[in-house]
Structure 1
């Protein structure tokens, strides 16, 4: 009776299990998430559904003699590519036996040879001997490796074009991509992570050591996190936070360029970053051409200075500070000579109609040095100060007082004395005394001790030259102030919105390159921004300015510029699509180490101050 009951219960459980299995058969599993709409194998490509084609390659076993970590990174940037690396361990004992047999055979051949030794054969023996030693000491393992490369495209024509381009690039790396003609399905399935021995393609295996195999893996990272970085936003792909530090030692320089069309959120992004850098204690100076930063500068407790044509600004282009490098303090008169020469070159190019020649540049350097020498100012830091002097109001100042420095009026007087610079001196008439452009012909009266300071250039919006001239002088002055030995270890940022005006003057690239080198030494970051990326790409000066910045943030761009942008920044097709269709506040953050899709969004309490 009990036996019948057991059989009855067993039948009942079996029926229930079958019913449950039939239910699960209707439930999608993980493979259904990435199955293509179709799968049609052709001779040398696979059709995966509407606007989805691919071609499968396997790497030939003849790899380059020298490889390095991240060797495949440059290949991944060339298009929509998937790289699959299949690795199978080989028995170390068997590998040692094989290597020993090979060494013995090569040694026998070497002994049988007469005449001059075969140095190539001897080098091979030495290499195999070192490999055997590494295996015996467990420093290395022997692995069987196989690399598949799958190229994807939306159309068959695009697939063919991309494959030609990618295979040619692979050849330049010393790689031979072999198309799996008549074996596309087997190769495609072999490239998928579907478990071992799944219709594997068993040719083109290569024996490699563990350290060599590591070179096969791309090292690109989808996230960016730097030590001492400030929060800028989140990774659109992974939703992970992005902390960025443009001063990180892994980057060539601390400079950044931000580009975005109208409505891309460029200004909001700049102000959001400004506020967060201020929270980290950065010293910040802003050149504001559109009067957009007044609200946030005031909120942060900074100084907002409005500049008007014809009024003395309180900035002297001849101002210098004591700097420090490798423990030595000095006054960098060489840099100041370069600053003044650049300012005069701008005046000459715009008012005289030609750039300065070599004779004029030599005369200017001689005159500038004389102006400092006449006041007893040399590279010695103590020479910049006196024990007492009268200020502009006739009051006696005592103690360690900074000397009165040369002015543009003093410079013009000396230029008149040299025949080769008299035309330049005449052109300077409006820049000195009571001239309409004489705002920088004065002693410095602005206190640069404020952590945050901004200059309003709105009054110059109708005169692009005057705006540019004012920007250069302010930039030179703040760079000089930020180079002060007192601020040596402090992070400093100069934000220059609408920097496109620099692209119109050839000397700009040389000048910005000059101050960028100084920025690396003194922890000064120049952040330039512009709506018009085309202005930069159209000429050598603009391209040089972009290349000067190690970090770039590309926000939404016009579709008709996509090809030019992709070519210059070496963007993949997918990345190019992103920057032409990204939402407000989104962009691709690029530096020599990585590219990442970032969303920068102000916090709720920041919106009031970052919107114009």
Structure 2
């Protein structure tokens, strides 16, 4: 009765029109179905279903890949049902008892050794040991295939090819004779298994059969797995978990227009789905639309009324006894950057007295109970230096005048206006004048590092530095990247450096250190002038070199140790609407309100309805 009800429901869904006035041809399924013993005639073609009844003893990663990449139309369905541990243990005990009883009976009667039964006994013992240690579970798995063709004659040839391919994989594929309708329904995306031809799998075998496993990447997938794209050599998906590697850093290298920032935004968006917090250093204000769409925080340094007070103590500073001392040391570094030269010992001593006096005047002392008061400003430091009486202090105060009362005071003239606290924080540096670029970068890096290194707020984080060559040109920025690349793993964080000047990065010691400390390395299309240097640095084969020389936009190479896989970046229309910032695309949005398709062609430019609401 249940099966008949299910079939009636499927018939209704397949024959229901997609609109109120549409015809049956507009529905999900065919207008009519003719059921035969071994095939179905669907009106526009024919199909036959196969059930997998035999499997090889051992399988490797992506062992279903040849079936998934079959050149014809082949639907592969995987039905998984977990077995409760208590039931699994009882079944294993019974199976072991049968196998051992059979072995003893053969020995008592002098029969030859059954090597197949002996191998099954060893496998059962090993599986029972893994279950007892909690290293795996058992599942009931059914694998079904549905082959499609235009005519019945072509269908016979296609079925023969699929069965031959399955036999080459040591898989037995049997026709679903007199159950062709149930086989077809079982391969539809309905989650319904009407064939119920199951085989017991353990966790490792099931994970190797999972369709999203790429055979080119030999790594485990954790809770922070991100889709990078599709394998260019097959139709499998390239899934990667940076937080499952030795370190969580990555570099994205490619020439201008290759899709570096696009890929970085996709990774940010998809990492946020898994609970990863992201901080972005954005030199060109390309990430604001993404931050606004997902409820992130956007801090545009240099914009009207946006200020960032360097004297602010970090959140939760009362938990750390030396928070005020660390802040004073950072002010020393900041003043040296503002004045564009290191201070002599006398000036440093005067500056130290001025910093302590400024904090004391604001009511902040060594007592952590005072640290919730309003911190001083740069103008308070200048006043404390003027009141010091030391000529060196007065000299430092005079040199700070442009940043206190002059034309560059906008960044420091008041308390912090925005305290970035979100799952996605974007620091935009585009509005900063060139004279304050270095200072603004230093303030941004300090804010990010304090957040990452906070021992009382540990969570997986990514720090994305777009156009990393701009930071590498600055001393403080280069030091931050080097420090972050070395120490990020200890704070459950990963650094992503996105840059187009691969030659400049690889020619400097700090740049090479950042690359060598990145377990994930993504190479997009390279300029001919930098191709030789990139090929030597990453030990590229001739085929990989040619791929990077002629790669399309959004096509690249993911390198992780000895694992290499070429992939195409793919995005949904909603993701593309958030990640694309090309001038033509922005003009298209401004004129028609209809964003176009991503690299993977997920959207149709002729259909505005293909663009979904990103929220």
Matches within 5 A, 1:17-28: none
Instruction: Specify the alignment match of 1:257 in structure 2.
Output: 251
User: Is 1:610 aligned to 2:575, yes or no?
Assistant: no
Instruction: Specify the alignment match of 1:273 in structure 2.
Output: 267
Q: CA deviation digits over 1:199-250, x for unaligned, max 9?
A: xxxxxxxxxxxxxxxxxxxxx96444431233232443455433333333x4
Partners in 1 of 2:401 and 2:495 — Cα distance?
32
Aligned residue for 2:477, secondary structure, equals helix
Q: Contact conserved, 1:557 with 1:579, CA < 8 A, in 2?
A: yes
- TM-score for both structures, normalised by structure 1: 0.52
Work out which of the two has the higher radius of gyration on C-alpha atoms and give 1 or 2: 1
Instruction: Specify the alignment match of 2:429 in structure 1.
Output: 457
User: Is 1:340 aligned to 2:331, yes or no?
Assistant: yes
Pair 322,453 (structure 1): closer, same or farther in 2 beyond 3 Å: closer
Q: 2:376 aligns with which of 370, 395, 406?
A: 406
Q: Contact conserved, 2:307 with 2:410, CA < 8 A, in 1?
A: no
User: Is 1:384 aligned to 2:394, yes or no?
Assistant: no
Q: Contact conserved, 1:407 with 1:443, CA < 8 A, in 2?
A: yes
- How far the C-alpha of 1:343 sits from its partner, in A, is 2.6
Pair 272,380 (structure 1): closer, same or farther in 2 beyond 3 Å: farther
Matches within 5 A, 1:439-454: 439-454=411-426
Pair 337,261 (structure 1): closer, same or farther in 2 beyond 3 Å: farther
Q: CA deviation digits over 1:515-556, x for unaligned, max 9?
A: 556643433333232222233234444444444544332211
Aligned residue for 2:463, secondary structure, equals strand
User: Is 1:315 aligned to 2:308, yes or no?
Assistant: yes
Aligned residue for 1:495, secondary structure, equals strand
- How far the C-alpha of 1:264 sits from its partner, in A, is 0.7
Aligned residue for 1:247, secondary structure, equals helix
- TM-score for both structures, normalised by structure 2: 0.51
Pair 361,513 (structure 1): closer, same or farther in 2 beyond 3 Å: farther
Q: Contact conserved, 2:554 with 2:569, CA < 8 A, in 1?
A: yes
Instruction: Specify the alignment match of 1:528 in structure 2.
Output: 497
Q: CA deviation digits over 1:80-123, x for unaligned, max 9?
A: xxxxxxxxxxxxxxxxxxxxxxxxxxxxxxxxxxxxxxxxxxxx
Q: CA deviation digits over 1:306-326, x for unaligned, max 9?
A: 4445x442321222225699x
Aligned residue for 1:458, secondary structure, equals coil
Pair 571,407 (structure 1): closer, same or farther in 2 beyond 3 Å: farther
Q: 1:287 aligns with which of 281, 284, 289?
A: 281
Pair 565,319 (structure 1): closer, same or farther in 2 beyond 3 Å: same
Q: 1:492 aligns with which of 456, 461, 486?
A: 461
Aligned residue for 1:404, secondary structure, equals coil
Pair 330,571 (structure 1): closer, same or farther in 2 beyond 3 Å: farther
Pair 306,505 (structure 1): closer, same or farther in 2 beyond 3 Å: closer
Instruction: Specify the alignment match of 2:570 in structure 1.
Output: 601
Pair 257,342 (structure 1): closer, same or farther in 2 beyond 3 Å: farther
Instruction: Specify the alignment match of 1:130 in structure 2.
Output: none
Task: Report the RMSD for the aligned CA atoms in angstroms.
Answer: 3.6
Pair 434,357 (structure 1): closer, same or farther in 2 beyond 3 Å: closer
Unmatched runs of 5 consecutive residues or more in structure 1: 1-219, 386-402
Instruction: Specify the alignment match of 1:554 in structure 2.
Output: 523
Aligned residue for 1:589, secondary structure, equals strand
Pair 432,229 (structure 1): closer, same or farther in 2 beyond 3 Å: same
Q: CA deviation digits over 1:281-300, x for unaligned, max 9?
A: 22223333223222222221
Partners in 2 of 1:307 and 1:383 — Cα distance?
29
Q: Across the two proteins, how many residue pairs are aligned to each other?
A: 364
Aligned residue for 1:602, secondary structure, equals coil
Instruction: Specify the alignment match of 1:585 in structure 2.
Output: 554
Pair 600,415 (structure 1): closer, same or farther in 2 beyond 3 Å: farther
Instruction: Specify the alignment match of 2:399 in structure 1.
Output: 427
Q: CA deviation digits over 1:48-104, x for unaligned, max 9?
A: xxxxxxxxxxxxxxxxxxxxxxxxxxxxxxxxxxxxxxxxxxxxxxxxxxxxxxxxx
Instruction: Specify the alignment match of 2:227 in structure 1.
Output: 232
Partners in 1 of 2:520 and 2:314 — Cα distance?
29
Aligned residue for 2:258, secondary structure, equals coil
- How far the C-alpha of 1:485 sits from its partner, in A, is 5.2
Instruction: Specify the alignment match of 2:240 in structure 1.
Output: 244
Q: 1:436 aligns with which of 408, 427, 430?
A: 408
Q: Contact conserved, 1:508 with 1:541, CA < 8 A, in 2?
A: no
Instruction: Specify the alignment match of 2:443 in structure 1.
Output: 473
Partners in 2 of 1:324 and 1:238 — Cα distance?
52
Q: Contact conserved, 1:303 with 1:450, CA < 8 A, in 2?
A: yes
Partners in 2 of 1:226 and 1:549 — Cα distance?
18
Pair 547,440 (structure 1): closer, same or farther in 2 beyond 3 Å: farther
Matches within 5 A, 1:44-193: none
Q: Contact conserved, 2:300 with 2:427, CA < 8 A, in 1?
A: yes
Instruction: Specify the alignment match of 2:114 in structure 1.
Output: none
- How far the C-alpha of 1:381 sits from its partner, in A, is 5.2
Partners in 2 of 1:591 and 1:339 — Cα distance?
36
Aligned residue for 2:285, secondary structure, equals coil
Matches within 5 A, 1:208-223: 222-223=217-218
Aligned residue for 2:566, secondary structure, equals strand
Aligned residue for 1:345, secondary structure, equals helix
Aligned residue for 1:243, secondary structure, equals strand
Aligned residue for 2:271, secondary structure, equals helix
- How far the C-alpha of 1:339 sits from its partner, in A, is 3.4
Unmatched runs of 5 consecutive residues or more in structure 2: 1-214, 582-615
Partners in 1 of 2:240 and 2:396 — Cα distance?
45
Instruction: Specify the alignment match of 2:75 in structure 1.
Output: none
